[in-house]
Amino acid sequence: MTLLWIALAGMTTLALIAPFDYEITIWLSHHKHSGFARIMGQSIFDGGSFGVGDIATCAFIGSAVVWFYLRYVKKFPRNSIARAYGIITLSSLVSGLLIVHGLKLLMGRPRPHAVLEGQAPFHAFFEPSSLERFWGSGSFPSGHAATMASLIVLIYIFPWTLAQRITFMVVIATLTVGMGMARCMSLDHWITDSVASFFLCWMAGHVVSAKTPAKKDQP
């Protein structure tokens, strides 16, 4: 039931924002804060300087290394710590590779700068593009925002109280929206791209954690 509520919340939020998607994105680009857009959008993995998103990316890489060490070097497949790192790693892979790149290939949504330059017409987030040059590198959903949003899987791992989980979710949502705003300022994404990334990653984290059975701590 929780997954259904997450999906409904996402669809409702997108339905409310979608009619103003173009206007919000263009407004943000006209009120661009260069420093904010740069620090949020840049990445050492794109050949640039260290950016905010790299914090999450490095965390996921570190998680994968720790999981591999516990699972295949220390031989602790049933250890709860190994399971936790496994959930983080799998969730990031499902969110970043399967969902984000899968939808980019499927939707091929033209990016804002391409629309403003007259290379393509505006497409709503739910409208697949027939322009092959945008398939696989389209705007929807936002990979940068998904990197931040994927951290939401941590609410399913740590034994937090409800208040702590809500607080952490607000923090991640704020970082995701901030990343989305920065990407809109640089005309690389529409605002719905980032909002969708948040809810898609939330659903991915929920499913992965639910489908990974808990096991006793034993070497």
Residue 48, in any domain of the structure: no
Is 87 within 8 Å of 153 (Cβ atoms)? yes
**Arithmetic mean of pLDDT, 28-41:** 91
pLDDT at 219 over 60: no
Residue 31, in any domain of the structure: no
Please state the pTM of the whole predicted model.
0.87
Residue 186, in any domain of the structure: yes
Residue 137, in any domain of the structure: yes
Helix-helix angle 162-185:52-68, to 10 degrees? 130
Residue 106 has a pLDDT of 85
Count the domains in the chain.
1
Query: Domain limits at 105?
Result: 59-211
Q: Among 40-49, 119-128, 144-153, 172-181, which stretch is predicted with the lowest mean pLDDT?
A: 40-49
Residue 120, in any domain of the structure: yes
Residue 68, in any domain of the structure: yes
Confidence at 77, pLDDT banded by 50, 70, 90:
low
Is 40 within 8 Å of 179 (Cβ atoms)? yes
User: pLDDT tens across 137-180, in order?
Assistant: 789 999 999 989 999 999 988 888 999 999 999 999 999 999 99
User: pLDDT tens across 4-31, in order?
Assistant: 999 999 999 999 999 999 999 999 999 9
Instruction: List, as one string, the DSSP characters of 29-79.
Output: HHT--HHHHHHHH--GGGTS---HHHHHHHHHHHHHHHHHIIIIIS--TT-
pLDDT at 128 over 90: no
Residue 199, in any domain of the structure: yes
Residue 45, in any domain of the structure: no
More confident site: 213 or 47: 47
